[in-house]
Structure formats: C-alpha cells, structure tokens
Amino acid sequence: MRRLIIVLVLAAGIVAAVAGVYYARVDERFQGYPGADQFVDIAPGTGSRAIGRALVDAGVVRDELTFRMATYLTGTERELKAGEYQFAGAMSAKEVARKLARGDIFLRPITFPEGLTLIEMSREYESKGLGTAKAFLDAARDTTPIRTLDPLAKDLEGYLFPETYNVPRKMDAKALVQRMASRFLAVFDQPMRDAAAAKGLKLREAVTLASLVEKESAREDERAIVSAVYANRLRVGMPLQCDPTVIYGLVKVGRYDGNIHKDDLSFDSPYNTYRHAGLPPGPIASPGRASLEAALHPADADYLYFVSRNDGSHEFARTLEEHNRNVQKYQIQYFRDQKAGGAGGVGRAGATGGARGSRR
C-alpha cells in the first residue's frame, strides 16, 4: 500500500511537472517557419485537434499539446473559425488561439474604379485570383438585391458600387457581388431616391444618367455641368449623342475594335444615342458617388454641347455655332498641328464622345 502511494505521488509529480512545462509554453513566443510570415488555411468544419496539427506543421505553434492547453486556458476551443490566416513573426500559443477565435482572417484588397462595366469588373475579379470572370458575370445576373427598385433590370450593370473591398481569398463571386450591390443601396440612400423622384426619375433612369456622366468626365468640377448638358438635351428633345453609349452597344455585340468609326454612329442599337432619343435602356457602367450626385443635382447652366480640350477638361457651348468653333479649335486644328508635328493622333468632338451635335 505504501509503495502504491509512493508511485501515485511520483506520477502526480511527473504530471504536474509536465503540465507546468506546457502551462509555461502557452505564453512563450514561437516561430518555426522561415521568412517573415506564414499562411495557414483552415477549412470549414475542421476540429480543434486537426487545426492544432495544421499549425504545428506550418511552424506556427511548437506542438499540439501546447495549442490544446492554450485553447483550454483561453476558452476558445469551440470558437476557432475557418479561413485563411496570416502569421507574422513569433506568437504565443494563446495569441494564436485568440486570433483564430476572433476570425482574424487574411483579407486581400480588390479595387473596382468608377466607370467599369460588369465585363471589366469580372476581369478584375479574375485577375486577383478570386475566381473566374464567368462566375462573376453569372452572379451579376441575379437582380434580387435591386429588384424592388428596378424590376426591369436584367443584370446588375450600374448597381455594383465601385470602391475597394477587402475580401478573403475564398470569397466567391456571388458573395462579393451581393456585397457590392448592398453597398450601392447604402450609397444611393433615401435622400438620393427622394431627389430622383423629385426630378421625375426612376432609379434606373437616375443611375443610367449618372453612368453617362461618369464615362464623360472624371473631373470633379465638370460632372455637374455635363449632367446639365444631358438634362437640357432631354428637356428640349435633342438626342444625347453620347459616344460611350455607342461603345457600350458595340461591345455588347462584339463589334468594338477600340475606336468609333463613322458607320458606328448609324449602328442600330438601343444604346446608340445618335439614333435613339432619350436615355439608353440602362446604365452603361458603375457610377461613383460624385456622378450619382451630379445626375441628381445638375449645374444651373444652359449648355447644350461640350468638346474635349485633349487635356482631360472640356469646353462647353450654348449654341451649335459656338460649339463648331470649339470643335475646329480643339479637335480639327489641334490634330492637324499634332500631325504636322509628327505626334499623330485621332480626335473626336466630345468627351470620349460628348454631346456634340456637330456630327449631324
């Protein structure tokens, strides 16, 4: 009996000693991988033991028992979350456990600049290694997020808000598209919707107009003036004659080669605002906040025309006679001088088109 007691005491002492070692280890910082950082991808449904093995294999924690004790002491054993994690530098097992419990996964930024079409956005999505362009376009055909506001929408063109999104590597196209649509709805809030209604514009019309403004000028000081040109033309029944709408129509049928040709202006497309009066059927790109505001709050100006100055700015005109003089100066003569100087180039009377009138 006495011998048994001695054995039990010794065993208890050994267990206590081992426990003491691991208890101390949970607070010791450790880095068992080369380089500045290490990535570990935890699949959904992975148990804490398997997570511990993955962390040991990656050199993030010293051993599985240390990690298990760390989760026990931090109360995180049942809170570890799936995802891709980045570990940079030495960390204690407790710090690792808390990081996984917080779900502090590694996020990658993806930026969608203002004025991109769905096709262009899908290419950006694919270029970041998040998935295929096809998956993005397929997801963008689900109009559920804006169906009550725009029942005519066949896709989310114009309704995916352009900005930088921080996303996990395995965020699928559907989740990202839904997030972008939700962001649009947050930006195009009730005051904006009320402003559109006050102007007699449906959501689709307001966003379509904003997309034209977005494609025509990137200058903060010009957007509201461009918006005024289109509003004035719509009011008096003049065709918008907007090159970006023609380009959009050509792209949709695979006819755009990077330039607008004379024959393209007679191309029979509902997006050809040289042939068809009024706004095109829907947005031609995703407008940013500034262009949405400009569409709803055009400048108090009576311009009907504008032409590119070839430096990113535009010259505006009230009459066709004045506009034709501007075209002669900023397009015809400008490119003659360029050609004479050996620079070459081809110009167009308008802002990447623009409401010009001189073609007719």
Q: What share of the chain is helix, strand, coil (3-state, %, to 5)?
A: 50, 10, 45
Kindly report the pTM of this predicted structure: 0.82
The first and second tokens of residue 174, run together, are: 């559907």
**Region class of 326: left (phi > 0), else alpha (psi between -120 and 50), else beta:** alpha
- pLDDT number for residue 188: 97
Residue 190, judged by CB atoms within 10 A of its CB (0-12, 13-18, 19+), counts as exposed
* Phi–psi pair at 204, nearest 5 degrees: -60, -40
Which CATH superfamily, name and number, covers 22-102? Endolytic murein transglycosylase (3.30.1490.480)
Binned average pLDDT, 10 residues per bin, the chain of 360 residues:
50 45 79 94 93 97 94 94 94 96 95 97 95 97 95 96 93 95 97 96 97 94 97 96 95 90 89 95 97 97 94 94 94 82 49 39
Q: Answer positive or negative: Cα dihedral of 297, 302, 304, 305.
A: negative
- pLDDT number for residue 352: 36
Determine the 3-state secondary structure of 96 from DSSP: helix
Amino acid residing at 153: A
The first and second tokens of residue 105, run together, are: 């996964």
List of residues 6+ apart from 208 with CB closer than 8 A: 158, 279, 280, 281, 282, 283, 284
The first and second tokens of residue 183, run together, are: 């962001």
Q: Where are the domains of the chain?
A: 22-102, 108-187, 219-340
- pLDDT number for residue 22: 55
Specify the DSSP class assigned to residue 172.
Answer: -
**CA 119 vs CA 134, 147, 314: distances in Å:** 9, 21, 28
